[in-house]
Amino acid sequence: MDIYFLGIGAAALGIYALVSKRLSRSIISGPMFFAAVGFVAVAVGLGEEPTGDVTGVATVALEMTLALVLFTDAMATKISSGRDEAELPSRLLGFGMPLIILAGAIVAAGLFPEFDLVGVAIVATVLAPTDAALGAPVVSNTRVAARIRGALNIESGLNDGIALPFLLFFIAIGQAEDGANLFSLLFSAIGIAVIVGIGIGWVSARLIIASSDRGWLQPIWRQIAVVTVPVVAYVVADELGGSGFIATFVGGLIFGRLLLASYPDIANFAEDLAEVVTMVAFMVFGGLILQPRVGDFTWEILLYGVLSLTLVRMLPVAISMIGTHLRPPTILYMGWFGPRGLASLIFATVVLEEVDIPGTELMATIVTLTVALSILLHGITAYAGSNRYADWYEQQEKDHDEMHESKDVGRIQQRRRIFRT
């Protein structure tokens, strides 16, 4: 990633900042804007010549971006013990996600005979997590029923971390076929990461509490200190042979539970930084990953991308909602608005760079096109779609007392990179 590309990125951030509120109410989302900037910059020769892969500094930057996002999302996402609040996200994560992976694998097997069972499972798992940042109005529009917004918010905050063990399991199977021990691979990838995440999350939180109680820690540095925790967790887990991403996710869960009640603003700086580096990541995606792969797209890849965003998600979501008595427009809303973004992009990069199984280049191309379609289609439909659904919901006002969409679930836990004004 050369200095010119960095300069273009800085200029793009400044321009976007000037019109950010206006664009939040338009069909142009932040990820769409920055992906387009990166794509055009490289296409006209203003950045380095891309290869379709990211290496070196760019790889580290992308991985640290996801680590920070996983950590802050885990910190901020909370499901209370209330049955009505937990029911929908539990169904989406516990039933919907495995069905989405299964459906994605079945479709991939039909379209790409060159993949074995492990290959189709990896593709489906990489594309299972959702990224609410690609369609922020879907979960931030207060005219939409709080129960529905909360369910989608919790799903997008937790499903990337939950998808990781599935991905590591399938990768371990693929590597075990080459003679490695499956149990050893899983323990090193997941077990070590969980231990590291719990340890560093707990110790870091306790140190911040102790220092704050003694008056040693300035408020601004309390917020800055948060950023260091996912980086340390990621590096320690990675050095010990575990998954750095799982470590940061678990660390965020522990860290947030110990600190947010006493210091509700402690994650503000980390979440603001996550917003900035996420947009830069989408610029890297547009310029260094999407642009050079455009010529590799085939009708099979395009069809898979379309099906992944529609049938592969919408049917499992509908199945997972059986018995909830939600109305068809609500199920359609929840099914369509499952955008694929940062997690899918970086999971694919990890597979491409670190996994030695057949077909990784094709996997990366499939994920690239699917994420690009999601950035475009979910970006265009998020603001208008959330308002159209809200119009329908408001028209049912006389039935609100009986509608399951209207159940009180309390205050939605807000993530600053999603819930912005």
Q: What is the mean pLDDT of each run of 10 residues along the chain (421 residues)?
A: 76 92 86 92 71 65 89 78 72 94 96 92 94 83 89 87 88 67 70 93 96 92 94 94 91 93 90 90 90 91 96 96 94 94 88 78 93 94 93 89 80 58 46
Q: Which of 62, 60, 7, 8 is nearest to 34 (CA)?
A: 8
Residue 372 lies in a domain: yes
Query: Token match 């495995």: residue?
Result: 98
Predicted local confidence at residue 106, as pLDDT: 97
Distance CA 362, CA 367 (A): 9
Is 29 among the domain residues?
no
Q: Is 80 left (phi over 0), alpha (psi -120 to 50) or beta?
A: beta
Residue 25: inside a domain = no
Domain range for residue 377? 65-395
Look at the chain and report how many structural domains it folds into: 1
Angle at 253 between CA 248 and CA 259, to 5 degrees: 110
Task: Judge whether 21 lies within some domain.
Answer: no
3-state secondary structure of 24: coil
The reported pLDDT for the residue numbered 252 is: 94
Number of Cβ within a 10 Å radius of residue 406: 17
The pTM is what?
A: 0.89
Q: Measuring CA to CA, how many Å separate 270 from each of 71, 116, 176, 273, 338?
A: 9, 40, 38, 5, 24
Q: Can you list the alpha helix ranges (DSSP code H) found in 260-359?
A: 268-284, 291-293, 299-309, 311-320, 328-336, 342-354
Q: Is residue 190 part of a domain?
A: yes
The residue behind tokens 């797209």 is 297
- Per-residue pLDDT tens digits for 162-177: 898 888 888 888 776 5
Whether 312 is in a domain gets the answer yes
List the CATH number of the domain containing 377: 1.20.1530.20
Burial bucket for residue 13 (CB in 10 Å: 0-12, 13-18, 19+): middle
The answer to whether 284 and 203 have CB atoms below 8 angstroms apart is no
Sign of the C-alpha dihedral, residues 185, 186, 191, 197? positive
| Residue 327: both structure tokens together | 């109305």
| Closest by Cα among 352, 371, 369, 365 to 171 | 352
Q: Residue 133 falls within a domain, yes or no?
A: yes
Q: Provide the token pair at 331.
A: 């199920």
Q: Which of 289, 337, 314 is nearest to 100 (CA)?
A: 314
CB 138 within 8 A of CB 379: no
CA angle 43/65/6 to nearest 5° reads 40
Q: Is residue 267 part of a domain?
A: yes
Q: Tell me the C-alpha distance between 375 and 31, whole Å.
A: 6
Taking every pair of Cα atoms in the chain, the longest distance, rounded to a whole number of angstroms, is: 64
Give the three-class secondary structure for 416: coil
Amino acid in the structure at residue 239: E
Burial 337-366 (b: 16+ CB within 10 A, else e): bbbbbbbbbbbbbbbbeebebebbebbbbb
